[in-house]
């Protein structure tokens, strides 16, 4: 794709460290020569004062129009307060696949074995349905909704990706020994999809064992397909194996729209301190570049990151250094220029 092409992309800067890491990613994309006309829109707590809602119609319309967005994390209050804007956004745009590549290739892994796995998390239902009730004083109920439709399409996304990228194995992660109906339906749906892919080994693993196996022998995993809650938890665990939340990217994919964002949240403990690691958001933006056909720029950014990290200089505190976000971004941009 020519460097002159202008891409129209929605940007949600987000809460907490969101504006810091999305601004870092924008600088890196610009340094790699990608021309983007960013449409900056609001969401989350910050949107309420201006729009009277956490998820303004303008935000959804912008993403529907541009079909691609880069998003910073959004804070969700714990216990009470408004419902998750992330969940609302994923449901409103039917972004049913949450795709999270977890790789030790950057050389900042905490694990001794090479890790290269990819998580396909169902993004629209399960215990994130938001249907919760106080049944009686002292008794609360959350509904876990599992449908054949949603389970089938996340399985199709995982197997299709596995086939296209020559992956050898898919694990379905579940707790159908206890949740026989809901997780049972999830498994049944994945099995039907697996049957159409005879060249890909299909395995099933109970989620608690999966957590332990990931910590001890992560190299045995290739593609994981999970429901919403297990996918959320296992993603953070897997991130912890390869350098932490600061380095793991993600994409929320629907049939027509794609929203790219890191696995991490708004990190209120470090927000505003200028020390957030921007790499997860840069890598999410890199997934976005591949999605829009800017593969050359994506390859260059990837190579620059590997080179930058190999020198172990200008690292943010989460990676054991004492550099600021800006210093890290400048270090990465210097490598991009070197690779010109």
Residues that bind ligand NAI (CB under 6 A): 17, 21, 73-76, 86, 245-246, 261, 264-270, 276-277, 280, 318
- The answer to whether residue 42 is catalytic is no
At its nearest, how many Å lie between ligand NAI and the CB of residue 278? 7
Nearer to ligand NAI (CB atom), residue 33 or residue 274: 274
Q: Hunting for tokens 């969401």 — which residue is that?
A: 43
**Cβ 207 to ligand NAI shortest distance, Å:** 19
User: Roughly what angle, to the nearest 10 degrees, separates helices 325-338 and 18-31?
Assistant: 10
Residue 115, classed as helix, strand or coil, is coil
Which residue's CB is nearer to ligand NAI, number 162 or number 242? 242
From residue 76, alpha-carbon distances to 72, 99, 241 in Å are 13, 21, 25
DSSP string, 197-264: -TTSEEEEEEHHHHHHHHHH-GGG-SEEEE-HHHHHHHHHHHHHHTT-GGG---EEE-SS-EEE--SS
Helix (H, G, I), strand (E, B) or coil at 305: helix
Q: What is the dihedral of CA 91, 179, 161, 61, to 10 degrees?
A: 0
Q: Is 133 a catalytic residue?
A: no
Catalytic residue among 175, 230, 318, 335: 175
Name which of 125 and 261 has its Cβ closer to ligand NAI. Answer: 261
Closest CB to ligand NAI among residues 107, 268: 268
Closest approach of ligand NAI to the CB of residue 168, in Å: 30
- Nearest residue to ligand NAI, using CB? 265
94 is catalytic: no
Q: Of 149, 208, 255, 312, which one is the catalytic site residue?
A: 208
Name residue, tokens 């505190």.
Answer: 317
User: CB 95 → ligand NAI: shortest distance, Å?
Assistant: 12
Q: Read off the tokens for 207.
A: 């989620």
We find the least distance from the C-beta atom of residue 63 to ligand NAI, in angstroms, to be: 15
Tell me, yes or no, if 269 is annotated catalytic. no
Comparing CB distances to ligand NAI, the nearer of 149 and 273 is: 273
Given 42, 71, 128, 230, the catalytic residue: 128
Q: Active-site residue among 222, 232, 314, 318?
A: 232
Among 221, 224, 220, 314, CA closest to 275: 314
Q: Which helix (H) or strand (E) holds 103?
A: strand 97-103
Residues marked as catalytic: 128, 175, 208, 232
């Amino acid at each position: 794709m020519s460097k002159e092409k202008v891409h129209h992309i929605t940007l949600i800067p987000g809460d907490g460290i969101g504006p810091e890491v999305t601004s870092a990613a924008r600088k890196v994309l610009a340094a790699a020569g990608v021309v983007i006309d960013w449409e900056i829109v609001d969401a989350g707590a910050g949107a309420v004062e201006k729009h009277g809602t956490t998820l303004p119609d303008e935000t959804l319309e912008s993403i529907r129009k541009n079909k691609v967005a880069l998003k910073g994390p959004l804070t969700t209050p714990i216990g009470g307060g408004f419902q998750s804007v992330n969940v609302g956004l994923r449901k409103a745009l039917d972004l049913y696949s949450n795709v999270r590549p977890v790789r030790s290739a950057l050389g900042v892994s905490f694990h001794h074995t090479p890790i290269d796995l990819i998580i396909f998390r169902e993004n629209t239902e399960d215990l994130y349905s938001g249907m919760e009730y106080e049944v009686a004083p002292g008794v609360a109920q959350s509904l876990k909704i599992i449908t054949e439709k949603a389970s089938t399409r996340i399985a199709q996304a995982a197997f299709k990706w596995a086939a296209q990228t020559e992956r050898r194995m898919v694990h379905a992660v579940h707790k159908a020994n206890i949740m026989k109906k809901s997780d049972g339906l999830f498994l049944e749906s994945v099995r039907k999809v697996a049957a159409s892919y005879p060249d890909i080994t299909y395995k099933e693993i109970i989620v608690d064992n999966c957590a332990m196996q990931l910590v001890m022998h992560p190299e045995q995993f290739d593609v994981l397909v999970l429901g919403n809650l297990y996918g959320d938890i296992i993603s953070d665990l897997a991130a912890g194996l390869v350098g932490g939340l600061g380095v793991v990217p993600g994409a929320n994919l629907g049939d027509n729209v794609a929203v790219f964002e890191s696995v991490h949240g708004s990190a209120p403990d470090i927000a505003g301190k200028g020390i957030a690691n921007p790499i997860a958001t840069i890598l999410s933006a890199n997934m976005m570049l591949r999605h829009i056909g800017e593969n050359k720029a994506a390859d260059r950014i990837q190579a620059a990151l590997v080179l930058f990290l190999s020198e172990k200089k200008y690292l943010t505190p989460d990676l054991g250094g004492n550099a600021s976000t800006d210093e890290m971004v400048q270090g990465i941009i210097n490598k991009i220029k070197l690779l010109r």
